[in-house]
């Protein structure tokens, strides 16, 4: 089955709530939808959600690779040779991992449709669903508490709490949210690189008195300062997760081998897609490190891909696949089913998506 056409469509997604983290805020999310058409008429869908702050990839870089390089690399190539195609994409698109991820996702969707199987069955599933967190942004305290209560009322059992002001203010935020939702709700803290090691450890020490239900603290220190991250990991009684510090395969190898963090957050948009994510998960599993499959603000197209990936590795302990929930004008439906805070795949060929462009 050859690829006959490569198309891409930029879309500005409107967010229902302000997405605010330690380094900035936004009301929109720029994505690029990928469409691969095969010689038998089947279509594979992918999605790209670059994050310039994390990987340096601008949306214009994504579009340029999809328009200029992708057709030359993929046209008239066999979809069944996905491994070879992915290697070539990553070799030429090392600086545009989100573009590579979108193409990789579309290739898997197409391959699943060719094989008449959901992608998670094609990869070899080890679970049928996974609990996801939903994000409470770094907005004012009253709004954060109200949003947390709203999400719990919708059935979510895990909240990702964005922090990153001062550790004292963040302490008040965490305690207020924990008090409002109850100790049975799991809290996942995400500082997005905002702390020095001493501040992170001071926050965690202070929180011990309140004993909220904290699963982990994510990326407390600067991404490239991995030994600052290791310092927090070494002295913390709460598991520490790396996010911005772990982009691709080499990062996974170094962070796992040197025990820089207790946990890794692997995102398709950072590493280049499902193929690379599965390799990173294998490295982590070999080193005894558990992982989370995370996301950006992105279409359900790539959220579905992240879910299928999460279902197919024993190294995955957590999922944070909520990036589509806040989008009011997504171009796709299907792909995932949300029930009581758990995500289930659609049992259909590929990712089970319907796309309207």
Distance CA(342)–CA(354), nearest Å, equals 21
Task: Give the pLDDT score at 154.
Answer: 97
The proportion of the chain whose per-residue pLDDT surpasses 70, expressed as a percent, equals: 100
Domain final position from 116, 132, 163: 116
* pLDDT tens figures, 274-299: 999 999 999 999 999 999 999 999 99
Same domain, 25 and 146: no
* pLDDT tens figures, 215-268: 999 999 999 999 999 999 999 999 999 999 999 999 999 999 999 999 999 999
List the structure tokens of 203: 């926050």
Instruction: Please report, for the domain that includes residue 236, its CATH number.
Output: 3.20.20.120
Instruction: Please report, for the domain that includes residue 56, its CATH number.
Output: 3.30.390.10
The proportion of the chain whose per-residue pLDDT surpasses 90, expressed as a percent, equals: 97
List the structure tokens of 188: 């996942």
Which residue range forms the structural domain that includes residue 261? 121-355
- With cut-offs at 50, 70 and 90, classify the pLDDT of residue 24: confident
> Mean of the per-residue pLDDT values for the chain?
97
Domain final position from 116, 150, 174: 116
Predicted TM-score (pTM) of this structure: 0.97
Distance CA(44)–CA(344), nearest Å, equals 20
CB-CB contact of 9 with 32 (8 Å): yes
Same domain, 156 and 305: yes
List the structure tokens of 13: 């997604």
Same domain, 133 and 102: no
Residue 89 has pLDDT above 90, yes or no: yes
Question: Regarding beta strands 24-38 and 3-21, do their DSSP bridges make them parallel or antiparallel, or are they unpaired?
Answer: antiparallel
Distance CA(34)–CA(14), nearest Å, equals 19
CB-CB contact of 162 with 135 (8 Å): yes
Task: Give the pLDDT score at 202.
Answer: 97
Domain final position from 116, 151, 178: 116
């Amino acid at each position: 089955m050859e690829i006959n056409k490569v198309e891409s469509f930029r879309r500005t997604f409107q967010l229902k709530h302000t997405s605010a983290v330690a380094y900035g805020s936004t009301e929109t999310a720029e994505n690029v939808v990928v469409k691969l058409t095969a010689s038998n008429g089947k279509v594979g869908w992918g999605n790209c959600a670059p994050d310039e702050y994390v990987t340096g990839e601008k949306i214009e870089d994504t579009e340029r690779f999809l328009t200029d390089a992708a057709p030359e690399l993929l046209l008239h190539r066999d979809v069944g040779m996905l491994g070879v195609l992915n290697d070539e994409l990553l070799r030429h698109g090392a600086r545009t991992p989100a573009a590579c991820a979108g193409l990789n996702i579309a290739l898997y969707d197409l391959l699943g449709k060719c094989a008449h199987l959901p992608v998670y069955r094609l990869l070899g599933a080890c679970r049928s669903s996974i609990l996801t967190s939903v994000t409470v942004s770094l907005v004012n305290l009253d709004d954060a508490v109200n949003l947390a209560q709203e999400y719990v009322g919708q059935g979510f059992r895990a909240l990702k709490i964005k922090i990153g002001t001062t550790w004292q203010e963040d302490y008040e935020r965490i305690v207020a949210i924990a008090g409002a939702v109850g100790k049975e709700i799991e809290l996942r803290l995400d500082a997005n690189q905002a702390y020095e090691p001493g501040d992170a450890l001071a926050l965690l020490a202070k929180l011990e008195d309140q004993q909220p239900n904290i699963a982990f603290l994510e990326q407390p220190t600067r991404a490239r300062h991995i030994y600052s991250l290791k310092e927090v990991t070494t002295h913390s009684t709460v598991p520490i997760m790396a996010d911005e510090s772990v982009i691709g395969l080499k990062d996974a190898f170094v962070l796992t081998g040197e025990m820089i963090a207790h946990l890794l957050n692997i995102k398709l948009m950072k590493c280049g897609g499902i193929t690379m994510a599965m390799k990173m998960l294998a490295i982590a599993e070999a080193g005894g490190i558990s992982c989370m499959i995370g996301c950006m603000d992105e279409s359900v197209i790539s959220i579905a891909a992240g879910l299928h990936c999460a279902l197919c590795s024993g190294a995955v302990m957590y999922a944070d696949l909520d990036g589509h929930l806040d989008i009011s004008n997504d171009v796709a439906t299907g792909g995932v089913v949300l029930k009581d805070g758990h995500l289930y795949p659609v049992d259909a060929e590929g990712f089970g998506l319907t796309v309207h462009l």
